[in-house]
Chains A and B, each alone.
Chain A
């Protein structure tokens, strides 16, 4: 459970998600503390991606998908308001970097601004600069912001996607296995980044890599077969797991 002195930024209540008849996650009650990194771990197929996609209402865009239960952000039920508005407060970075291939680096980062509001050129420049700095990408691209986004390496593209997500000024940043398509060096750069990001944003990260969770997360949730098995401070979960299943997973007895 979250520590007493921490505010809950985001919270799920009896959250279940379905693909047609199949239930992917079941009655999940989870609290995400503000400005902390919460990791969601579990074997493949346990529903972690489904869960995180419910947090920004992306799950329902899949064919025949629907959701039961609620997700609260600062006490407001996200499923009672417009989905597009939700996604402007809750940003997401995907497993495979997906910069807009037809746009330059600058235009990628400024995309949320250009499409969602009418900023002046000066405002856009400022936001792009801030976002690229926050994503630790600025130094590498400062002299070629008009180059194609696809000219960057995989790790740089992922940081570009992070910058783009940050430019939208979200309060929560969701990361769905952001490093699984990247090499170890790129991965460690992003993990460093996450440590910085939590000073301003609440981060939820799905990962299949337990060591990564141990490295970056303040809190960890363990999911198995669609159910939340255990949640707590990362150290506690890994060193003194309360549930037998958790212990089995952590010690590598299954998948």
Chain B
């Protein structure tokens, strides 16, 4: 007869693993539930008018999220406008043109950008970038581009534009990394087919490689956007923290995260913190939606990722 093997080790181990896994799922559930709990009073009293309101006056019980939403959108849009060409360009350079010995070190340097904490970027933005913008860059912009109506306030340095610049720096590593992966996943045959009909390096990249990797690159850009939307500290230091609707790129502003960071600790009216959590819910909804879409696109586009493991 076969001797019996004790199953207790297996049972206990499986139980522990299930606890851990359940905790992860629980974390997500609790996250949403907790936020709703904390924001409850504000949702109840303000309803949807919060999302369409323009003013933030806690003493009068007036709360409006429009300025923060506008600021969030504008800073993220500009950040992407800068980060995508730079990130994609760097990715192209690293995968197509750069000599082999250069790829790893430069790649790691770009990863280093991602490793620098947000506060440090904020601090640097405050002390280094903002004065530079105020004294050198923004006067030039006002002088030559003032006609666009986008640069109509006095340069202070701490404004939406500076915040957008800092955000773009933080979005670049994500965009570069994912673009690199997507481009590297393009089969050699595509490149070779283009080369065989006499295309130059750039033409190969532009017409054969990048279109093939397009969905991955877009997903990377969207993920970079997700990152930029949720950024708090870097933005908080340099955006000026003023509740006002968008007038000029070099005016002060705020984003949803910077609003929360700015006001939370000093809140004294009973509805203010719930209102901030309400704002947090809005932000979470946006970033989650963006992330899920981006990851879905990414999983469909990346050749072989994860499939090879099974």
Contact = CB atoms under 8 A, between A and B. Distances in A.
Nearest to A86: B2
A89 interface: yes
Interface of B: 1-5, 7, 310
Nearest to B2: A85
A85 B7 contact: no
Interface of A: 63, 73, 76, 81-82, 84-86, 88-89
A81 B3 CA distance: 10
A73 B2 CA distance: 9
B308 to A, nearest CB: 15
B96 to A, nearest CB: 36
A82 B1 contact: no
Contact of A88 (B1, B5, B7, B310): B5
Contacts of B3: 85, 88
Contacts of B2: 73, 76, 81-82, 85-86, 88-89
Contacts of A88: 2-3, 5
Given A82-B5, A89-B2, 17 more contacts: A63-B310, A73-B2, A76-B1, A76-B2, A81-B2, A82-B2, A82-B4, A82-B7, A84-B5, A85-B2, A85-B3, A85-B4, A85-B5, A86-B2, A88-B2, A88-B3, A88-B5
A223 B160 CA distance: 75
Contacts of A89: 2
Nearest to A75: B1
B10 to A, nearest CB: 8
A88 B3 CA distance: 9
A103 to B, nearest CB: 20
Contacts of A81: 2
A148 to B, nearest CB: 25
Contacts of B4: 82, 85
A131 to B, nearest CB: 20
Contacts of B1: 76
A89 B5 CA distance: 12
9 contacts: A76-B1, A81-B2, A82-B2, A82-B5, A82-B7, A84-B5, A85-B3, A85-B4, A88-B5
Contacts of B5: 82, 84-85, 88
A129 B236 CA distance: 69
Nearest to A89: B2
A84 B5 CA distance: 7
B167 to A, nearest CB: 44
B3 to A, nearest CB: 7
A164 to B, nearest CB: 19
A86 B5 CA distance: 10
Chain A to chain B: the 9 pairs with minimum beta-carbon distance, closest first: A85-B5, A85-B2, A84-B5, A81-B2, A82-B5, A89-B2, A76-B2, A76-B1, A85-B3
Contacts of A76: 1-2
A204 to B, nearest CB: 18
A221 to B, nearest CB: 25
B5 to A, nearest CB: 5
Nearest to A87: B5
A105 B5 CA distance: 27
Nearest to A84: B5
Nearest to A83: B5
A128 to B, nearest CB: 22
B310 to A, nearest CB: 8
A76 B1 CA distance: 7
B4 to A, nearest CB: 7
B1 to A, nearest CB: 7
